Amino acid sequence: MSKIESILTESRVFTPSEQLKRSVALTEADIAQMYAKAESDHVGFWSDLAREKLDWFKPFTVGLDDSNAPHFKWFSDGELNVSYNCIDRHLETKSDKLAIIFEADDGTVERYTYKELHDQVCRFANTLVAQGVQKGDRVVIYMPMIPQAVIAMQACARIGAIHSVVFGGFSAESLRDRIDDAGARLVITANAGCRGGKTIPLKKAVDEALEKGGDHVRKVIVFRRTKDDVAMKAGRDIDWYEAEAGMSNYHDPVMVDSEHPLFLLYTSGSTGRPKGVQHSTGGYLLNAHATCEWMFDLNEQDVFWCTADVGWITGHTYVAYGPLSVGATMLMFEGVPTYPDAGRFWQVCQDHGVTVFYTAPTAIRALMKFGSDLPSQYDLSKLRILGTVGEPINPEAWIWYYHEIGGGRCPIIDTWWQTETGAHMLAPFPITPLKPGSCTKALPGIDAAIVDEAGQALEDNEGGLLVIKKPWPSMIRTVWGDDDRYQKTYFPLMGSIKNGDSCYVVGDSAYQDEGGYFWILGRIDDVLNVSGHRLGTMEIESALVSHPQVAEAAVVGRPDDIKGEAVSAFVVLNREIPDEGAERDALIQVLRDWVAKEIGAIAKPDDIRFGTNLPKTRSGKIMRRLLKTLARGEEILQDTSTLEDPSVLEQFKKPKRL
């Protein structure tokens, strides 16, 4: 691998004010002590934290079991229950404290105290048991961003069932793949979801998914989010409230082993179909809990708002689990940032007194476009910490967020992590000096480094592979049903270098500056990051090729001001290429809709170009680097002499921007 070059040069440093330092729980000395302890006793550090932060039914005696690398077990002889840790243990002191404030798309507000959440989760846990769900069974949740999604997840955790939440924007086809791969026994859905004033049918997608698949699915529980009619299949489908009728408000949480799978979450990789990332119980919850305290400093007065949907890992760790584990009040929002206008996020922050706000750079960039007048109309003075996640934040957006939203007083917590890591890995504490665009340093107990392909450490400012050298509690345990893929994807250095057996290769390139700060450069594989969402180019290519008029397709990313990356598709038809004009435009639309149907609207190509062949070497390898240059609209300076048919480049030059 040639060394990866960085073109980003950002030298500003934002140091914390004395006032900020006084206002947060952890002092510089506390943080330094944590780093020192983690450095000197990695396993002891995590074990002590697990004892201090989580309630164990059966205490563990083994911290880390690494006898079967790269399969690591944390706290494996301990027993606990996640739902107990998120709810029950707070009841004595906080039963009337708000756990969830929910603002619906239409502005309706609902509030749930910890006691109310407890009762609802228990009732639903009893419902799941009554419907035949047992410990270890998989339950797919395909819900809008409403409290019932969290209730369903917590109820699964309570009975030891393994949930797999599928983002409501995924199509029936994607949903079916995930239901089948997980071997789900039950599906929880809503008749519809509400976003931006529109109603999005969800149950319909479940019906379609189960028409040709879902052989293991016995029951579908349907929450009626809207008054719209919903078709119910007799014997299989059951209304949420009807199913709950007569159920008790109490359910004794099922204690599970620390390593018991808490959930599967499907995410894209560079090859093959999305993989079911399997997370554990104790280790996962520990990092979710600790990072809510470390990065967000959550305390009794806070109102924490993470804007992520529960369909993504961020919505698991920082909506469904972390904030509840620390006993915080969190806000859930069903809508979109631009409805009824682009001031909605700021209105929600104002109306509910949000103190800690966590969102994605793509949302910041989109809202920045509307200028600073909108946020300035709202009282954002309660905000004290701002976070970002999902993709690198460009310094311009960072500075806007810092000044226009945070009033220059709130630290920007740029958190780098992944579905597989379970929780934040590289991120500042609120009082860490900040450099816009850098996610700063690895957390205590996270041993991150930059290495070359052979696993050798690189110098400062040299771009290379980001790796995590030691196991950490919330790491992925395996790929559901494909352990081989787990080992090959994440531990390619196994056996090749000293300690390579526990060297987790992230899939991102990055470098560390002289101050030890990490700067993420992007993915090293064919994974796209569109609006902070991971999409495999392969997935989109397979979707395109499954259309009857498409013979071949290649998909690459190109930089996009708002989305971070946009999807460019290069398509070879098995018919004549229609002339430019209405017919070609119509075909492009058909193919975009096809991808939306196969995967989901987020995967729709932003531009589609046609040619009579893809640019391939004589040995048949698609030259993706050329396609990337074309997608960017740049001149081709690379050597094209090895191409089988250089003339195709001309055909592909003309994009059809949509």
Interacting residues with ligand PRX between 258 and 277 (CB under 6 A): 267
Q: How far apart are CA 292 and CA 322, in angstroms?
A: 6
45 versus 416: smaller Cβ distance to ligand PRX:
416
Q: In 10 A of CB 497, how many CB atoms?
A: 13
Instruction: Provide the minimum distance between the beta carbon of 158 and ligand PRX in the complex, in angstroms, as a whole number.
Output: 25
Query: Residue 169 or residue 611: which is nearer to ligand PRX going by CB?
Result: 169
Using alpha carbons only, give the angle 509, 513, 514 rounded to the nearest 5 degrees: 150
In whole angstroms, the minimum distance from the beta carbon of 119 to ligand PRX comes to 32
Site string for ligand PRX, 328-367 (x = CB under 6 A): ----------------------------------------
- Closest approach of ligand PRX to the CB of residue 178, in Å: 15
**Residue 423 contacts ligand PRX per CB under 6 A:** no
Phi, psi angle pair for 267, to nearest 5°: -145, 160
| In the complex, minimum distance from the CB of residue 274 to ligand PRX, in angstroms, rounded to a whole number | 11
Residue nearest to ligand PRX (CB): 419
Tell me if the bond preceding 361 is cis, omega within 30° of 0: no
Q: Nearest-CA neighbor of 120 among 93, 147, 80?
A: 147
- The gap from C-alpha 641 to its chain's centroid, in whole angstroms, comes to 41
Q: Specify the residue, 281 or 362, whose C-beta has the smaller distance to ligand PRX.
A: 362
- How far is Cα of residue 155 from the mean position of the Cα atoms in its chain? 21
Taking the least distance from each CB to ligand PRX, the nearer of 155 and 412 is: 412
| Closest among 382, 378, 359, 380 to 301, alpha carbons compared | 382
Least distance in angstroms from the C-beta of 347 to ligand PRX: 25
Kindly state the number of chain residues that form the binding site for ligand PRX, as judged by CB under 6 A. 20
Q: Toward ligand PRX, which CB reaches closer, 334 or 508?
A: 508
Nearer CB in complex with ligand PRX: 79/177? 177
- Least separation in angstroms between residue 220's CB and ligand PRX is 27
Which of 137/414 has CB closer to ligand PRX? 414
Please state, in angstroms and rounded to a whole number, the distance separating the CA atoms of residues 292 and 88: 19
- Contacts of residue 29, defined as CB under 8 A and 6 or more positions apart, other chains included, come to none
Residues 166 and 260: their CA atoms lie apart, in Å, by 20
Report the alpha-carbon distance of residue 508 to residue 421 in Å, rounded. 13
Q: Which is nearer to ligand PRX, 254 or 410 (CB)?
A: 410
Q: How far is CA 657 from the centre of its chain?
A: 28
Site string for ligand PRX, 375-414 (x = CB under 6 A): --------------xxxx---------------------x
Q: Could you give the count of Cα atoms lying within 13 Å of 95 in the half-sphere of its Cβ?
A: 6
The CB-of-523 to ligand PRX minimum distance in angstroms stands at 5
On whether the CB atoms of residues 321 and 280 are closer than 8 A, the answer is: no
Site map for ligand PRX, 286-325, x if CB under 6 A?
Answer: ---------------------------xx-----------
Specify the residue, 230 or 493, whose C-beta has the smaller distance to ligand PRX: 493
Contact 278/478 with Cβ under 8 angstroms? yes
- Residue 481 identity (one-letter amino acid): G
> Under a CB-based contact definition with an 8 Å cutoff, are residues 266 and 179 in contact?
no
Which residue, 266 or 570, is less far from ligand PRX as judged by CB?
A: 266
Q: In 64-139, which residue ranges form alpha helices assigned H by DSSP?
A: 82-86, 91-94, 114-130
Nearest approach, Cβ of 31 to ligand PRX (angstroms)?
A: 20
Three-state DSSP state, 290: helix
Binding mask 61-100 for ligand PRX (x = CB under 6 A): ----------------------------------------
Q: Which of 83, 325, 362, 415 binds ligand PRX (CB under 6 A)?
A: 415
Q: What does DSSP say about strands 237-239 and 219-223: parallel, antiparallel, or unpaired?
A: parallel
Which listed range, 48-56, 218-226, 279-287, 416-424, lies at the site for ligand PRX (CB under 6 A)?
416-424
Name the residue nearer to ligand PRX (CB basis): 214 or 387. Answer: 387
Q: Minimum CB separation from ligand PRX for residue 522, in Å?
A: 7
Cβ of residue 109: shortest distance to ligand PRX, in angstroms? 27
Which of 113, 271, 418, 613 is the binder for ligand PRX (CB under 6 A)? 418
Query: Which CB sits closer to ligand PRX, 154 or 291?
Result: 291
Q: What is Dmax (Cα atoms) for the chain?
A: 74
Which residue of 284, 416, 518, 652 would you call a contact of ligand PRX, by CB under 6 A? 416
The nearest distance, CB 527 to ligand PRX, in angstroms, is 7
Q: Which residue number, 79 or 420, has a Cβ lying nearer to ligand PRX?
A: 420
Q: Residue 281 is encoded by which pair of tokens?
A: 């119980």
Is residue 587 within 8 A of residue 595, CB to CB? The reply is: no
Q: Are 61 and 241 in contact (CB under 8 A)?
A: no
Phi, psi angles (nearest 5°) of residue 440:
65, -115
At its nearest, how many Å lie between ligand PRX and the CB of residue 280? Answer: 17
In angstroms, rounded to a whole number, what is the distance separating the alpha carbons of residues 293 and 287?
A: 10
Range 489-548, binding ligand PRX (CB under 6 A): 507-508, 520, 523, 529, 534
Q: Please report how close the Cβ of residue 508 comes to ligand PRX at its closest, in angstroms.
A: 5
**Which of 101, 110, 117 lies closest to 157 in space, CA to CA?**
117
Task: Pick the binder of ligand PRX from 419, 440, 502, 537 (CB under 6 A).
Answer: 419
Q: Which of 210, 286, 439, 608 binds ligand PRX (CB under 6 A)?
A: 439
For the CB of residue 524, give the shortest distance to ligand PRX in the complex, in Å. Answer: 9
Cβ atoms of 428 and 443 within 8 Å: the answer is no
Burial of 463-496, coded b for 16+ CB within 10 Å and e otherwise, reads: bbbbbbbbbbbbbbbbbbebeebbbebbbebbee
In 232-359, the DSSP E strands lie at 237-239, 256-257, 263-267, 275-279, 303-306, 329-333, 356-359
**Distance between CA 408 and CA 398 in Å, rounded?**
11
Q: In whole angstroms, how close is the CB of 392 to ligand PRX at the nearest point?
A: 4
- The footprint of ligand PRX (CB under 6 A) covers 267, 313-314, 389-392, 414-419, 439, 507-508, 520, 523, 529, 534
